[in-house]
Amino acid sequence: MRALLLAAAAFALVGAASAQPAPNPLAAQLRAAQAELAASPHARPEHLITAVAAAEGHSEVNVTAYRAAMALGAWALDAQDFDLAHRAWASALAHAVGSSPPAVLARNRARMGEAVTQIAQYAHAPSAAARVQAYESLQQAASELYPYALQEGAAADIAPFQATYAEAIGWRDYGRAADTPRSTAPMHDLAGAIVCPTTWHGNDDIFSSLYRAFSGPPGIVVFRVLTDNSGTPTSVDVAYSQPWHMNASVALQPYGPHDFDRMERVLLRLRVEQASGAPANCVMPHVLFQALVLGGEVRSLRPMIN
């Protein structure tokens, strides 16, 4: 999954790369500082901090500066240097310009970084306005990413928009304070049609069944579920999980694959149907995402951006 999400970040910049001019001294400074961070991840990246600040307002290095700011934001979040993280995400967002699909993906990865930082910073203050802002930002990111995630369809591998959408809704549900209302805004496909809200048929308490199938520590898991025209699931994949040792594709866990196998079997026994009260003429999706927050309070899982 780590390689997949890194590929997603790279994909976000492919469209802009062709417009990037020949390397200039600022671009070289950004690349060198980012390489220094990669080589010494435990040292405070002073050169990268300076380079990202120097790139402010320089659209000619948007692609390079975006990559550098995202790397800085991820480092600062992991180090719990929240002020630096906020500045880094703001810089990344400023460099993610345009309306192309790559720009949409890049912009929402930066937006997600800022929201997850707010969740981490205010983990002990569920009523803080920042927690509400984080939920709203992640919901906005999910709404922008969702049409592209649907368009990516039923490929064997989790595609870039699907991976990023899954990460966004996982952190959205994890960080939502109890008194923050859930969004009821309709989701749309790329053609602008409303996507039908769905429900699971065949299990009165899907979440209890999934929780009982899991024996591991607190975490987040988001499944991608593909269905046929009758709503019967044809495949279930892990689109996102946190922490990494929860991921069934990573051989770091004694229990993970067994837990995911049990959870997938629960989902495969069910059927997806249109929820009651769905808008007329809505489009029934064949790609669905099921997010689960597995135990513990918000502060029990250290937020990070991949």
SS (H, E, C) 31-92: HHHHHHHHHCCCCCCHHHHHHHHHCCCCHHHHHHHHHHHHHHHHHHHHCCCHHHHHHHHHHH
The answer to whether residue 126 sits within a structural domain is yes
Give the 3-state secondary structure of residue 258: helix
pLDDT recorded at residue 204:
58
User: What's the predicted TM-score (pTM) here?
Assistant: 0.86
Domain match, 102 and 240 both? no
Strands 233-242 and 219-227: antiparallel
* Per-residue model confidence (pLDDT) at position 262: 78
161 located within any domain: yes
Same domain, 86 and 231: no
Weakly modelled stretches of the chain, pLDDT under 70: 1-23, 203-205, 213, 215-216, 244-259, 295-306
Output the pLDDT for position 301: 60
Residues 92 and 192 reside in one and the same domain:
no
CA distance 259 to 255: 6
Instruction: Please provide the DSSP assignment of 123-163 as one string.
Output: TT-TTSHHHHHHHHHHHHHHHHHHHHHHHHTT-SSPPHHHH
- In this structure, the dihedral spanned by the alpha carbons of residues 25, 81, 37 and 218, taken in order and rounded to 10 degrees, is -140
**The predicted structure's pLDDT at residue 179:** 81
State how far the Cα of 194 lies from the Cα of 23, in Å rounded to an integer.
44
Query: What is the distance between the alpha carbons of residues 202 and 68, in angstroms, rounded to a whole number?
Result: 48
**171 and 282 part of one domain:** no
| Count of domains observed in the chain | 2
Give the domain range for residue 62.
2-175
- Looking at the structure, tell me whether residues 139 and 224 fall in a common domain: no
Residue 78's pLDDT is: 93
Q: Is residue 182 part of a domain?
A: no
Q: Answer whether residue 50 is part of any domain.
A: yes
Choose the final residue of a domain: 127, 142, 175. Answer: 175
Same domain, 243 and 143: no
- Please report whether residue 130 resides in a domain: yes
Residues 21 and 157 in one domain: yes
Q: Which of 112, 140, 175 is the last residue of a domain?
A: 175
